């Protein structure tokens, strides 16, 4: 006999919240959505959302099926001495992308963001707040948001050539070779007051 006790507590509620979150983020972007609004849309108490998810950022990560929560990950790359931060970010970025199961999902996210304005807006606002914003906040350079964007542009461009478009010399390079070559670029953007 199949046991017929109560369903695992909250299994449906959790799914309902994720569904509502995906709908809300897609319609209003990352900035336009609140945990309270998602709770309302899912028909649950906001306290329940906080019970299941780590705030708006955690909810976004799960609703979008991001392979990792970039917020805490980025913070771990930023720790340690200033002089190695460029290499740590580059190495950490490749560490996230190289695992095949994550890579596939990342590529799908890039495809979606490039192809659909809704997805683009969500991702742009999420990255600006939870990733680039944290990098900028830890950086002592002028115009830190632009600098964080430049660092991100280097890593995004590499991901495009290595994982999405597939330019052979970049695909075949060893990760550590890439880290050695692009680490100083990230370092310049994030650490040097005048990198020109």
Which residues of the shown chain bind a second copy in the complex (CB under 8 A)?
110-111, 113-115, 120, 123-124, 127-128, 132, 143, 145-150, 152-158, 160-161, 164-170, 173, 177, 180-185, 188-189, 195-196
| Angular region, 135: left φ>0, alpha ψ -120 to 50, beta rest | alpha
Cβ proximity to a second copy: between 19 and 161 the closer is: 161
Cβ proximity to a second copy: between 37 and 149 the closer is: 149
CB of 26 to a second copy, least distance (A): 16
Cβ proximity to a second copy: between 48 and 164 the closer is: 164
Structure token pair of residue 20: 């509502």
Cβ proximity to a second copy: between 50 and 124 the closer is: 124
Contacts 24+ apart (CB under 8 A), 191-195: 191/82, 191/83, 191/85, 191/86, 191/139, 191/140, 191/141, 192/141, 193/140, 193/141, 193/142
Q: How far apart are CA 108 and CA 106, in angstroms?
A: 5
Under 8 Å between Cβ of 77 and 95: no
Cβ proximity to a second copy: between 99 and 114 the closer is: 114
CB of 30 to a second copy, least distance (A): 13
CB of 159 to a second copy, least distance (A): 8
CB of 147 to a second copy, least distance (A): 8
Cβ proximity to a second copy: between 40 and 180 the closer is: 180
CB of 172 to a second copy, least distance (A): 8
What contacts 84, CB < 8 A, 6 or more positions away?
none
Q: What interhelical angle do 55-63 and 11-28 show, nearest 10?
A: 90
What contacts 157, CB < 8 A, 6 or more positions away?
none
CB of 196 to a second copy, least distance (A): 5
């Amino acid at each position: 006999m199949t046991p017929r006790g109560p369903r695992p507590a909250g299994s449906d509620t959790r799914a309902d919240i994720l569904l509502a979150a995906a709908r809300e983020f897609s319609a209003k972007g990352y900035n336009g959505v609140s945990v309270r609004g998602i709770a309302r849309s899912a028909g649950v108490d906001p306290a329940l959302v906080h019970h299941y998810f780590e705030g708006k950022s955690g909810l976004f990560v799960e609703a979008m099926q991001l392979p990792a929560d970039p917020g805490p990950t980025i913070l771990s790359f930023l720790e340690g001495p200033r002089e190695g931060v460029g290499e740590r970010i580059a190495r950490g970025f490749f560490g996230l992308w190289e695992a095949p199961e994550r890579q596939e999902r990342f590529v799908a996210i890039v495809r979606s963001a490039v192809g659909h304005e809704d997805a683009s807006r969500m991702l742009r606002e999420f990255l600006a707040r939870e990733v680039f914003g944290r990098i900028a906040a830890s950086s002592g350079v002028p115009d830190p948001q632009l600098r964080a964007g430049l660092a991100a542009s280097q890593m995004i461009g590499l991901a495009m050539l290595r994982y999405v478009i597939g330019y052979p010399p970049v695909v075949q390079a060893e990760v550590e070779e890439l880290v050695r070559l692009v680490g100083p670029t990230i370092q310049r953007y994030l650490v040097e007051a005048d990198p020109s």
